[in-house]
Amino acid sequence: MSRRFSLTLVVALMAGFIALSYEILWYRAFSFVSWGRPTVFGLLLGCYLLGVALGSSGSRRFCREDDGDERGRERSLRALAAFVFLSDVAGFLVIPILARLAQYTWFPAFGVVAISAGLLGAVLPLVAHFGIPADDRAGQRLSYVYLANILGSAAGSFLTGFVLMDVWSTQTISAFLGAAGLVMVALLFLASRPSPRAAALGLGTVVVAGVASVFASPVLFEHLYERLLYKELYQPEMTLADVVENRHGVIAVNHYQQVYGGGAYDGAFNVSLVDDKNFIERAFAVSAIHPSPKNVLMVGLSSGSWAQVVAHLPGVEHLTVVEINPGYLELIAKHPHVASLLKNPKVDIVIDDGRRWLLRHPERKFDFIVMNTTYHFRAHATNLLSAEFMEVARSHLLPGGIHYFNTTSSDDVQRTAATLFPHAMRIVNFMAVSDSPLVFDHARWEQTLREVSIDGVPALDLNAPHQRNVLTRLLAMGHSIEQHAYDKYGLEGRDDLLARTAGARMVTDDNMLCEWEDLLKFPKGADL
C-alpha cells in the first residue's frame, strides 16, 4: 500500500469520525433549545444530509485532471489541507452560533448546520480524488476509502455518543473534535512535501490555531446552556446554578431551584405546600385516592421531590423509582430538602427506561404507579402516554391499584386514559385511572395535609395563619369535582372529562399523536 493511499485512508477515517461526532453534538444543542421537540431531529438530519450532498456535488469543481503529476498532487494536498481547516472551523462554530442566534431566533442555525455539513461532507470525495490513482484499481481503492469513512463514522457515533458525552462537557468535546481536525490538516500539509520553511510556517499556523481555540473556547461557549434555555429572555447575569451533562442528556438547575431536563421544565426542588412552585399537592393527593398504597412504583425521578413526598405518605411501605438519567441522583444529593431520599431504606432507585423495566419485570405488581411525566409534545413522550403503555401499566397493578400520571393538560392523553379505564379522575393536569372505583376521600385528604411531615418538618404549620389558608384552599380543591364545571386547577370526573374532550383522539404507539401536533411550534425562553 502506497504512502499516499495510506494517508487517504487515515483522513477518510478521521473525517467520518469528526463529521458524525459533530452531528451528535449539534443534535444535543438543538434538542435542548427546542425542549426536545421531535421535529428538530428530522430538520437537523435533513439539513445535515442536504449539506453533505451539496458539498459532495460542489467538490467536483476542485477535482481537475492536471492534478495527475507530482507537483499538481502536492498543490492539491495543500489546497485540501486548507479546505479541511475551513471545515474544521465551521464545525466547531455551529453550537456557539446557535447559542447566540437563540437570543433572537434560532431557526436560521439550521442553515449553519447545512453549510458546515457541506464543508465536512466535501472532504471525503476530495480526499478520494487526490488519494486514488485513475487506474484499473480505482474502484477497489474507492471501496476501501469508503469503508474507512464508514468505520470512522461508526466509531464517532459510538465513542462520542456513549463514552465522551459521559465524561466530557459539550465544550470539551467540541475542542477535542477541533483538535482532531487540526491533526488531519497537519497530516495533509506534511504529505504535500513542503519546503522546510513552508513546513515550519504551516505547522506553526496549525499550532497557533490550536492554541487560539483553547483560549477562544471558554468565550465562545460561555453561558451556553443559559443562552439556549432563556433564549430571547437571556441576560448575562442569568446564570445557572448547576449543569449536569452525560450521555443521557443535559440537566440544568437555576437559582430558583427549578430543574430543566433537556431544556424543558422538569420540576423543582421543593416539597413544601406553602412555597409551592411545582404543584406538589398533586403528590400528596396519592393518599386521598388510595386507602393503602403499600407498594408504589414511580417512573421518573427528576428532582426527587415527588419521591420524597410519596415515601413519607401514610401507608407507603416501599417505593421503587425507575429513572433513565443517573445525573438526577448527583443533583438530589446536593439539595437538603430531598437528599435523604437517597438513604431512605423504603426507597429503591433503578437506572433504566421505565417502559423497558416494566416489560422486563412482569412479575412486579404495585398498589400505585405514579409518573410526573414530561411534556406530552416532547420526543418519545408517547412511550409513556400511549394506550399501549397504559395497558402495560394496568398489567402491573394489584387489585384496586391506581395508575396516576401527568398529562401536561393534553386532551388527547386524558381522553385516552378515560376511555381505556372504567374509572378515571383528573386531578389538576394528572389522570388517575383504575379498574376499581375511584374516590377522592376528603377525610383522608385533610388528615394527610394536617399530619404528614417530611424529615420531621410538617407539610403545613397550622399555627401560621397563612398556612391555614393554604389548607383551606387545598380542601376546597378536593370538592371541585362536585361542581361538574371545568376547573383547570381542580378535579374532574370521568363522565365530565369524556364529554369535554369529545373532539380529542386516542394516543397510540403508531400515531404518536401527542408528539406530532403543531410540528413547527417551538417554545420560547424559559420563564423565571
Q: How far apart are CA 187 and CA 27, in angstroms?
A: 29
Per-residue confidence (pLDDT) for residue 67, from 0 to 100? 54
Buried b (16+ CB within 10 A) or exposed e, 58-73: ebeebeeeebeeeeeb
Query: Number of C-alpha atoms within 13 angstroms, CB side, residue 11?
Result: 35
Neighbours of 417 (CB within 10 A): 27
pLDDT < 70: residue spans in the chain: 1, 62-70, 520, 524-528
The whole-model pTM stands at 0.91
**Residue tagged 421535529 (cell numbers):** 39
Quote the cell numbers at residue 524. 420560547
Supply 110's cell numbers.
Answer: 439550521
The pLDDT value given to residue 10: 92
Give how far Cα 456 sits from Cα of 292, 312, 337, 340, Å: 21, 10, 11, 12
Q: What was the pLDDT predicted at 528?
A: 47
Write down the pLDDT at residue 408.
94
